[in-house]
Structure 1
Amino acid sequence: MLCFKIIIVGDTNVGKSCLLLQFTDLRFKNTHDTTIGIGFGSREIRVMDQNVNLHIWDTAGQESFRSLTRSFYRGAIGGILVFDVTSRQSFQGLVQWYEKIQSYACDEIELIIVGNKTDLEEQRQVSQKEGMQFAKQYNFEYFETSAKTGLNVNQVFENLSCKILQKVNSGEIDPCKNYGIQLSKKAKLAKQECKIQNTKQDKQKNNTCC
């Protein structure tokens, strides 16, 4: 089984931790403590007829903690850039977060733009059209979600995983070389056994008389 490291980034209070909790635990907390440093969750999903384990890191949005999270960009093979549809400031902050990902993450990272808190439609400051235009500018997929109701939350992670897996299957990403993709213990053992079998077969061929 493949393990993908996914990071969730965005300004504070856009709902990053709530998205993570909704995806991993299928629940929502009305009162949620601000993430200090790094939050973590994991969940196994099935995409393209393959089981994938997602290791998801929720990076703190506060400026004072951004320097502490730089090392966590490294090794991420998937990223979710989140803004709050009721906050234009968080939408404008996406550019800065994208620049940080470019600086610290690997070149192969797949990204998705997410406009969260659609359950607060009456307070919306950023239209769906604006979000889609921004995503299109960078050639990213765009989703609008509600961590409260669960709207499109699974779809975000499934779509991102599918894009990464497509690259793995096409050979664009080598899971054995890329730091952001790890093999499970079972898969590692199977790979080691395969190498041993191949080595034995090679020796047998070399010892065979012509």
Structure 2
Amino acid sequence: ADGVILAYDTTRSSSFSNVNNWWQTCIKYGLSGVSRILVGNKIDLKDEKKIILPMAEHLSQKLNAPFFETSAMTGENVKEIFHKIAELTLLSKLQD
């Protein structure tokens, strides 16, 4: 893999809590150096949101990963996350 999108559901605390586990699995399989982004999905469900922005920003810093909030339902920021992971992957390849 050249890039990883670590996505969680903003309405489910358990999925946010699992991001660290998912990243540790990536590291276990030798992916610690790949480009990565953190994505909080389902921002269209504002009334059900459980993960507040500072929590996600803190995790983003810890993972050294750009952070985006998206909505697959409305399409908000969906193209942007794929453009960003492609950009990061390309930059990484050029630096190698």
User: Do these two structures clear the TM 0.5 threshold for a shared fold by scoring above it?
Assistant: yes
Match in the other structure for 1:98: 23
> Whose helix proportion is higher, 1 or 2?
2
Superposed displacement of residue 104, structure 1 = 1.4
Superposed displacement of residue 108, structure 1 = 3.1
Structure 2, unpaired ranges of 5+: none
Query: Which of the pair has the greater relative contact order for Cα pairs under 8 Å at 6+ separation?
Result: 2
Which of the pair has more CA radius of gyration? 1
**Aligned partner of 1:87: which letter?**
R
Superposed displacement of residue 105, structure 1 = 4.0
Q: Is the 8 A contact 2:72 2:78 kept in 1?
A: yes
2:58 aligned with 1:126: no
Match in the other structure for 1:139: 64
Match in the other structure for 1:165: 90
Change (3 A) 1:93 1:154: same
Structure 1, unpaired ranges of 5+: 1-75, 173-210
Superposed displacement of residue 106, structure 1 = 3.3
**Aligned partner of 2:41: which letter?**
N
TM-score, normalised on structure 1? 0.44
> Whose strand proportion is higher, 1 or 2?
1
2:21 counterpart SS class: helix
CA RMSD of aligned residues (A): 1.1
Q: State the alpha-carbon separation in 2 of the partners of residues 107 and 115 from structure 1.
A: 21
Q: State the alpha-carbon separation in 2 of the partners of residues 87 and 107 from structure 1.
A: 26
Cα distance per residue 1:74-110 (max 9 Å; x no partner):
xx11111111101111101111101101111434311
Percent identity, please.
Answer: 30
